[in-house]
Amino acid sequence: MSAIPERILFLKKIHLFSGLSEDDLNDLAQALVDEPFKSGDTIIKQDSRGDTFYIIYSGQVKVVRAKNKSELTLAHLVPQDFFGEEELFTKKTRTASIIATSDGSVLALHHAKLNNLLKHAPKLKPNFDEVILTHRLWRRLQFKWVRADEVVYFLARKHPIMLWRSLVPPVLALLFPVMVAAWGLFAGAGWISAVALLFLLPITGWVAWQVVDWGNDYYVVTNQRVVWMEKVVGIFDSRQEAPLSTILSVGVETDAIGRILDYGNVIVRTFVGKIPFNNVSHPNHAARLVEEYWGRAKERNLGAEKEAMKDALRKRLNLPIPEKTQKTAPEPQTFSKLKRPSIFKLFLSKIFSLRLEDGETITYRKHSFVLWQQIWLPTMILIVLFSWWLGRIIYLIAHPDLLLFTMQKDVGLVVDSLVLALPIISIPFHLWWIYQYLDWTNDIFQVTPDQIIDIDRTPFGSEQRRSAALENILSTEYHRIGLLGNIFNFGTVYITVGGAKLEFEDVFDPATVQSDIDRRRMARVAGKNAAMAAAERERMAEWLATYHLNSEEFRREEQTNRSNPE
């Protein structure tokens, strides 16, 4: 059973209750009921009616949704996370089951008491609204780039007022053709009305484009990173992100109208710049949310380091390591036998593949559209020459009076001059095509287990190679620019390293490339930090173990010195 002061300190860490006074926090802490659970317990069952809101005080749970006779794990929740609030506002059944994955306890609050709290502290209502909106958006969107071990805590779009602002010009533009059409009908000039109504189509398309464009910008906070997704339909597409560990500060910027309507900009500053959450609803709540998960990341790292230090000391002192801190070996992977592709398919996959994996190295080439831009002219010329050559052969065969080749006594075999000349004429164009293809294949981008590499090489010419260690990457972002970039899904990934930027230009599916880089970076940083921390722990453990083993001897020496002063 947790004490009331401990509960109050615990509640202050949760962004959901920001804005509560000390008296409100005290009332809330007293209203909460401590309910323990065991690993495997079902705390909430999907499709059941719920009347209780829960906060995880200790232990861990998973969110599971049953679908088509199978279970899908949506998220893993930890202390300070909460669940069960949505049913209070929607009056619907539970959308998922909550199953304990370890022993622990929750702080439970009946919905009636939560309703009373909302009446006494109306500032809490926007906080709950944002949480529920995040859940609804996430159930609908389910971004593929979010990793299995990530939990999405915040997902928002721009405030609706920004949509209404953007709709003012097209709505005003609609008035003119409507007025002209009405005048045409009144004057009996039907053709004028018809022409005016035709102008309604592009303006209506303008309205639809503004609505879709407003709905394509998203701001995301997970337990690992902050993300800004920006998309202009058919023109531009980008995703900028930064790990929580790189955050330096979080700020809020609002204007007079924003303070009235409760919207503004949340500025997340990192080592290399800032990630702006522009014109989001309830910006102060959003800022506190980012600060909470930023703080959680720091506490998690510190806690893991302390546990590792304890284990290092136990190992030095030949003490048993508790089972909860011992890592079990991963289950061996099983691989099904794959059908070997044909040599022809393997050949084509190698010469035109945009993503190649060789061991732990991933190699990216520029998009095939870039290749086509380089080879379209020699390709068309070669097609024309080949068609001419083939047509000439068919023409000669179709006319028996004309011979494709003849045997002459003095000269030997004589081939039609045009049939012989066209392949010779095509040789420089074949060489041109091969040169352009080699130029395309020579521009490659690689991600290895420890670095990223940008190689720019011209056939039979110069080579420029730029590389950077994965652990030195500060941020990544990608841009898909223009109609063609969005249609064919290619763009540029920008990797910030120190004061410089590496660019993976015109790669296919830049969002996936960015995810590959970020995943390798996180693995590299985690591995390197773990190695450094392990070495430091071993050094410290050696000192502390030496002191512990010799402490009795030191104590006797100290007593001897005291009894025999000089």
- Over residues 17-71, the pLDDT tens digits come to 887 888 888 888 998 999 999 999 999 998 888 889 999 999 999 999 888 778 8
Structure tokens at 142: 């389910």
Contact 493, 541 (CB under 8 A): no
Q: Cβ distance 222 to 146 under 8 Å? A: yes
pLDDT band (50, 70, 90) for residue 326: very low
77: β partners: 61
From edge to edge, which strands make up the β-sheet containing 104-110? Answer: 33-37, 104-110, 52-58, 82-83
Q: What residue type is 317 in one-letter code?
A: L
The overall pTM is greater than 0.75: no
At 342, list the tokens: 């044909």
Amino acid code (one letter) for 32: L
With a CB cutoff of 8 Å and minimum separation 6, the contacts of 473 are: 452, 495, 496, 497, 517, 521
Which of 206-215, 319-328, 541-550 has the highest mean predicted lDDT (pLDDT)? 206-215
- Contact in structure between 173 and 179 (CB atoms under 8 Å): no
Two domains, one topology: 1-122 and 355-516: no
Q: What class is the 355-516 domain?
A: mainly beta
Cβ atoms of 414 and 422 closer than 8 Å: no
CA angle 219, 280, 134 (to 5 degrees): 55
Please tell me the distance from the alpha carbon of residue 566 to that of residue 556, in angstroms, as a whole number: 17
**Which residue blocks in 72-158 are alpha helix, DSSP H?**
86-90, 111-120, 124-141
Is the model's pLDDT at 348 over the cut of 70? no
Q: What average pLDDT score do residues 332-341 get? A: 40
Residues forming beta bridges with residue 73, ordered by sequence position: 64
Pairwise CA distance, residues 110 & 95, whole Å = 18
**pLDDT value at position 273?**
67
- Whether residue 250 contacts residue 287, with contact meaning beta carbons closer than 8 Å, is answered with yes
- The Cα–Cα gap between 87 and 92 comes to 6
Rounded mean pLDDT, 295-301: 83
Per the DSSP assignment, residues forming a β-bridge with 75 are 63
What lies within 8 Å, CB to CB, of 138 at 6+ separation is 152, 155
pLDDT reported for residue 409: 62
Mean pLDDT for the stretch of residues 203-227: 89
444 - beta bridge partners? 365, 455
Burial of 340 (0-12, 13-18, 19+ CB in 10 A): exposed
Cα angle 103, 105, 108 (rounded to 5 degrees) comes to 150
pLDDT in tens, 131-140: 999 998 998 8
Q: Where are the domains positioned within the chain?
A: 1-122, 161-214, 355-516
Region 446-459 average pLDDT: 85
**Residue 383 has what pLDDT?**
92
For residue 272, pLDDT beyond 70: no
508 vs 488: CA distance, rounded Å: 8
Q: Which CATH architecture has domain 1-122?
A: Sandwich (2.60)
Say whether 507 sits in a helix, a strand or coil: strand
Label the pairing between strands 263-270 and 247-253. Answer: antiparallel
> What is the gyration radius of the CA atoms in the chain, in angstroms?
34
For residues 274-295, one letter each, b for 16 or more C-beta atoms within 10 angstroms of the residue's C-beta and e for the rest, the string is ebbbbbbbbbbbbbbbbbbbbe
Least-confidence region, from 193-207, 377-391, 420-434: 193-207
Distance CA 164, CA 261 (A): 13
Helices (H), 159-282: 160-187, 190-198, 200-214, 256-261
> Given this model, what pLDDT does residue 543 score?
75
Those residues whose C-beta lies under 8 Å from the C-beta of residue 231, and which sit 6 or more positions away, are 213, 216, 217, 237, 238
Q: Which of 321, 289, 280, 256 is nearest to 13 (CA)?
A: 289
Burial (CB count <10 Å: 0-12, 13-18, 19+), residue 369: middle
- CA atoms of 193 and 520, how far apart (whole Å): 62
For residues 421 and 413, the answer to whether their CB atoms sit within 8 Å is: no
Tell me how far the alpha carbon of residue 516 is from its chain's centroid. 10
Instruction: Characterise 399 by phi-psi region: left (phi > 0), alpha (psi -120 to 50), beta (else).
Output: beta
Max CA separation in the chain (angstroms): 131
Q: How far is CA 158 from the centre of its chain?
A: 19
Q: Which of 491, 493, 488, 459 is nearest to 473 (CA)?
A: 493
Of 475 and 309, the one with more pLDDT = 475
